[in-house]
Amino acid sequence: MDTAKVDRFISGKWDDEIVPQLVEYIRIPNKSPMFDADWAANGYMEDAVRLMEGWAKAQPIPGMQVETVRLEGRTPLIFIDIPAAHGGSEEDCVLLYGHLDKQPEMTGWDDDLGPWKPVLRDGRLYGRGGADDGYAIYGSLAAILALHEQRLPHARCVVLIEACEESGSYDLPAYVDHLADRIGSPSLVVCLDSGCGNYDQLWCTTSLRGLAGGNLTVKVLEEGVHSGDASGVVPSSFRLLRQLLSRIEDEATGRILLDGLHAQVPAERLEQARRAAEVLGDAVYDKFPLLPGLVPMHAELAELVLNRTWRPALSITGIGGVPSLDAAGNVLRPHTAVKLSLRLPPTVDGRRAGELLQAELLRDPPNGATVTLELEKAATGWNAPALSPWLEQAIDGASRAFYGQPAMYMGEGGSIPFMGMLGEKFPDAQFMITGVLGPHSNAHGPNEFLHIAMGKRVTACVAQVIAEHHRASERGETGRRARPS
């Protein structure tokens, strides 16, 4: 592989085609079904599908088949089947994954920015979804095109772009089953929906946290009453909710109190966290827009890395039954509701975690209040299998070729439900989980951006790893040997 040629080709492809495509994609408010119940009628998801499908079909990859698969009552899925080329294996397979649905708007965007307003500035493309995860289909095909330009061999490749990831990928298992014969048994899975610790080297994700959560409601009255009349007689729904939350979280430290929600951290992950902390330094925490004087939850950087990757943590991401400050009167409110988002260690079973959460929050309601917990999510995380020597060398070689720095490995705090599903279906597959969501990119939040140079380099690294996958297949190291040229 002529890496300089790959670099030039991919950079040009991004500048001439991919960035303009992503500009149009950002304009589309195709929120995930959890945030847009009328997504089908509104048509925004269809707009995003048509944009990506049209571009993919125009790419000069011989024999490529691009299809939008539509199962009744489910979000669509873009399925791309690319035959092996230049002596690569049809029996072996590389699966590349991404998604096109988006998180909702979120408040707090700068005045000149917005979720559906693409803005190019200082090598960054601002707007919702460009980095999470609109670039995936473009990066995947650009990597394969870079190999074709040099007539480099690669195995058969399958690209899956779903439209339900931000809602927990609940439609994806049906599609994977429906397409099982066409997908085959990939020996390498490439996911472009993860994060990076910095923009200076390739980062690969070794684990993802699971998630359990839903809406917790405490109700004490049929309707609101005068607070001066009722306070001291009727217990506050907010105070009772605080009591319930203290059953599962230490309010002084944030530590989750239920033993069943913790897991032993493997020694390899402890060492990776230590190395990541050494490389990142204060960037472990100052990548977040902290207010002046705010102190992180631990003084040791490696402990902060572990906190966000291997330890359970509770966030309250929404609240109901509470009027805005300018609309609040002297009323003792009838109920308080909060949306719980409980991140789980990668190896904790999500369904079991949801059951533990329900059991602890619903037992012995304080003051006899009406307490309900509607679970919305209960997803198990993912811990990567040990890297094969060929893949570890390929990833590190790609990082050194296109960044001039060694590759780094670290867990991520978020969830990609597809990974756990694939890990179960293809236990012998190897995984390259990477992405462009680095410092200050603020996925899901205001001022989200795509670091364009990072996108180009990640794309180039994927191209080199796919090429090295063919070489490993020839040596029999992927479990399936390539056909002779």
pLDDT of amino acid 481: 53
The rounded mean pLDDT for the chain is 95
> Which segments of the chain belong to CATH 3.40.630.10?
3-208+382-474
pLDDT per residue as tens digits for the range 70-109: 999 999 999 999 999 999 999 999 999 999 999 999 999 9
Question: Which tokens in the block code for residue 471?
Answer: 């070489």
In whole angstroms, give the CA distance from residue 196 to residue 217.
Answer: 36
Partners of residue 203 on adjacent β-strands: 408
pLDDT digits (tens, 9 = 90+) for 433-463: 999 999 999 999 999 999 999 999 999 999 9
**DSSP characters for 378-409?**
EE--EEPPPPPHHHHHHHHHHHHHHTSS--EE
pLDDT surpasses 50 at 33: yes
**Residue 484: predicted pLDDT:** 43
Q: pLDDT of 279-292, one tens digit each?
A: 999 999 998 989 99
The pLDDT tens digits of the residues spanning 46-57 come to: 999 999 999 999
To 10 degrees, what angle do helices 135-149 and 3-13 make? Answer: 140
Residue 68 is encoded by which pair of tokens?
Answer: 């939008």
315-338 residues labelled b (16+ CB within 10 A) or e (exposed): eeeeeebeeeeeeeeeebbbbbbb
Instruction: Point out which residues pair with 340 in neighbouring strands.
Output: 214, 316
For residue 114, what are the β-bridge partners?
A: 117
Q: Could you read off the pLDDT of 363-378 as tens digits, one per residue?
A: 999 999 999 999 988 8
Q: Is the pLDDT of residue 278 over 70?
A: yes
Mean pLDDT of 304-325: 97
Average pLDDT over residues 158-180: 95
Q: For residues 174 and 180, give the distance between their C-alpha atoms in angstroms, rounded to a whole number.
A: 10
Find residue 213's DSSP bridge partners.
341, 377
- Residue spans in the chain of domains classed CATH 3.30.70.360: 212-263+313-379
Q: What sign has the CA pseudo-torsion 265, 268, 269, 275? A: positive
CATH homologous superfamily of 3-208+382-474 equals: Zn peptidases (3.40.630.10)
How many angstroms separate the Cα of 331 from the Cα of each of 227, 242, 325, 366? 5, 19, 12, 21
The pLDDT confidence band at residue 418, using thresholds 50, 70 and 90, is: confident
Residue 483 has pLDDT above 70, yes or no: no
User: What is the CATH number that goes with domain 212-263+313-379?
Assistant: 3.30.70.360
CB contact set of 367 (below 8 Å; sequence gap of 6+): 220, 235, 240
